[in-house]
Structure 1
Amino acid sequence: MKIEKGKLVSMDYSLYTDGPDGELIEETTAEEPFEFIYGHEAMLDKFEETLKGMEAGKAFSVLIKAEDAYGPEQEDAFVEMEKSMFVVDGELDEELIAEGEVVPLQDEDGNEILAVIAENNENTVVVDLNHPLAGVDLYFDGEVLEVREPSEEEWSRIHE
């Protein structure tokens, strides 16, 4: 069976930054594969284009440039916030706002978004709201393990 819209795809892959010699940032295995329904989830378009028409047993390698992945890093996604916004139960947790720490924030609709502390100043912190992989080229190296019709339960996951 070939990969096409609506098929469940099971695969293993290794994901590197900046090409095959880059840093390994994610890995799945045949024992714990990655599964998705082709054309129905938030997969990168260029990634899906590479897989279209493949069958089980087919290996793939694809370099996705940053602009086709999560885009370039946006300067306006760096936001300065008062440290008082990070006070919990009357106390400021300095470890929470250390540079490089990931902190959960809420937007005006109550949705959780993750930010990275970019700077810790005397009275403020600068948070980076860019996607963690913004500005990064991605290199996938893997194999299609299975292509099949999804079960009703698998379909229901994407329609929740």
Structure 2
Amino acid sequence: MKITQNTIVGLTYELKVSKEEEEVESAPFSVEVRDEEDPFYFLFGNSGLPEKFEELLAGKKQGESFEFTLTAEEAYGKADDDMIMALPKDQFSQERGFEASMLEEGNFLPLVDENGYQMQAKVLKDLGEEVLLDFNHPLVGFDLHFEGEIHEVREATAEEIAHGHVHGEHGHQH
């Protein structure tokens, strides 16, 4: 079966990133490996992943390998200064499930928006009564280098299509 709209896709891969700063490209370094023990599954056409990522996988079959690079523009774009905000520290209390150590610079805070969607923010700086957070995607500004294999391709169920995500062993449990 080929990867097409509304198929469930499982991938094994290594993701390396690089960044171009002042006309000098950094050497790619590994940031994520998904192996046979923990493949990455998504609903093709509704993954929330960069469009170009899905476009480059379209039509491939189980067992095929892939290798491609998404430029920062094709991936998550450039950092948006409007996504950097100072928020009162009291919003991150122990009653809300936060520990003081979680607010240290460089940490990623697991958050939920007003619609119940999970997100994260990187702690940039402790400002005393406030904390400066970056809500940009962690891979914003990076070129993404993927090398991997199509682990599985199957038809999505009607329920998966309706819900917009993978169910069962490799997905969301209701």
Q: TM-score range by the shorter chain?
A: 0.7 to 0.9
Q: Which residue of 2 aligns with 1:77?
A: 83
Tell me if structure 2 keeps the 8 A contact 1:41–1:158.
Answer: no
Between the aligned residues of both structures, percent identity stands at 34
Tell me if structure 1 keeps the 8 A contact 2:3–2:57.
Answer: yes
Give every structure 1 segment of 4 or more consecutive aligned residues whose post-TM-superposition deviation is greater than 6 Å: none
Q: Aligned letter for 2:132?
A: V
Tell me if structure 2 keeps the 8 A contact 1:104–1:115.
Answer: yes
Distance 1:106 1:53 in 2: 35
The count of aligned residue pairs is 154
Q: Which residue of 1 aligns with 2:35?
A: 29
Shift of 1:112: 4.6
Q: Which residue of 2 aligns with 1:116?
A: 122
Tell me if structure 1 keeps the 8 A contact 2:6–2:161.
Answer: no
The 1:103–1:11 alpha-carbon spacing in structure 2 relative to 1, beyond 3 Å, is closer
Q: Which residue of 1 aligns with 2:50?
A: 44
Deviation string, structure 1 residues 92-133 (Cα, Å, up to 9, x no partner): 954222111222445455655321110012332111111111
Shift of 1:43: 2.7
Distance 2:57 2:88 in 1: 45
Q: Aligned letter for 2:17?
A: T
TM-score scaled by length of structure 2: 0.74
Confirm or deny that 1:66 pairs with 2:72: yes
Distance 1:60 1:81 in 2: 42
Confirm or deny that 1:156 pairs with 2:159: yes
The 1:84–1:53 alpha-carbon spacing in structure 2 relative to 1, beyond 3 Å, is closer
Distance 1:107 1:30 in 2: 32
Q: CA RMSD in A?
A: 2.5
Shift of 1:14: 0.8
Q: Which runs of 5+ in 1 are unaligned?
A: none
Q: Which residue of 1 aligns with 2:18?
A: 18
Q: Which residue of 2 aligns with 1:4?
A: 4
Deviation string, structure 1 residues 23-80 (Cα, Å, up to 9, x no partner): 2111112343222232233232111111122222221111111122112111121111
